[in-house]
Structure formats: structure tokens, C-alpha cells
Amino acid sequence: MSTIHLACDHAGLDLKDILKHALEERGFSVTDHGTHTRESCDYPQFAHALCHAVEAEADGRGILICGTGIGMSMAANRHAGIRAALCTTELHARLTRRHNNANVLCLGARITGVELALAIMAAFLDTDFEGGRHQRRLDQLTIQPAKG
């Protein structure tokens, strides 16, 4: 996990640039999937681009930012290989890494302030998955055909 994928819509642009700078300061290389301007755009396109890239890596990790974080998380969780978590606290980020092995963090730039977003990102990056019973539960996320 030396590369972190980032993407946002117009509402997340400023926060994405701040997180990108912080990641580079920590020595991560960053792949920025856009958007790159303040022009109004459609968040699913950026979510899907990032998720394809994260899914293509063994231990891919990404961060998606829109106004609320909700649209990005909805789009990201359509991908079979993505476990996206919308986090508004550091505890959410720590627990979703420990229990859900989340590989995509979603943030709402209109909901979460910059300092808290940086702290949430750090918790997401620095916390390991616990495995064990949590892996068994993750295995059950795959939808099986309805019985009967």
C-alpha cells in the first residue's frame, strides 16, 4: 500500500487537494483520478474510475470525496471488490479497518472539517484488519441466490 488512489467530485475538490498534499508529505505516492476543476460533475464516474484501480491491486486503497460522502459510497459499494466506508469520526475509520477491512474511505467535504478529515484519513491508513471472525462475516457479504 504505497500508492493511495484519490477521487472527488466538484464538492470534494478542495479537500482532495489537502489530503493529497498530506499523503505526499507522509511518503505515499498518490494517483489522482480527478475531478480537477470546480465545474459541476457527476460523482459516480469518479467513484467507478477509482474503484477499478483499487480492485486491480492486491492491497489497493482509495479515498473518495463528495459533498456528503453518501453518493460516492453508494457508487463504490456496487463494485464486488470494494468495501467502502463513509466515515465521520476517527472511531468509524479505525473500526471499519479492524472489522470490515475497508479498502475505500469516503468523506463528505460539506460535512466533515479539514482537521477531522485528516485525522480520519490517518486512522484509515494506520489501522490493520483483525481477520478471524471478521473475515468470516466479510465472506458473507457476497450475495447468494435466494433459497426456495
* Residue 48, C-alpha cell as written in the block: 467507478
**Which residues in the 47-66 window bind ligand RB5 by CB under 6 A?**
66
Out of 66, 79, 87, 106, the active site residue is 66
| DSSP-assigned letters across all residues of 2-71 | -EEEEEE-GGGHHHHHHHHHHHHHTT-EEEE----SSS---HHHHHHHHHHHHHTSTT--EEEEESSSHH
Q: Give the total of residues touching ligand RB5 (CB under 6 A).
A: 8
**Which residues in the 27-46 window bind ligand RB5 by CB under 6 A?**
43
In single-letter form, the type of residue at position 42 comes to D
Quick note: the x/- pattern for ligand RB5 over 5-24, rule CB under 6 A, is: ----x-x-------------
**68 in contact with ligand RB5 (CB under 6 A):** yes
* Residue 113, C-alpha cell as written in the block: 472539517
Q: Which residues bind ligand RB5 (CB under 6 A)?
A: 9, 11, 43, 66-68, 70-71
Q: Which residues are known catalytic residues?
A: 66, 99
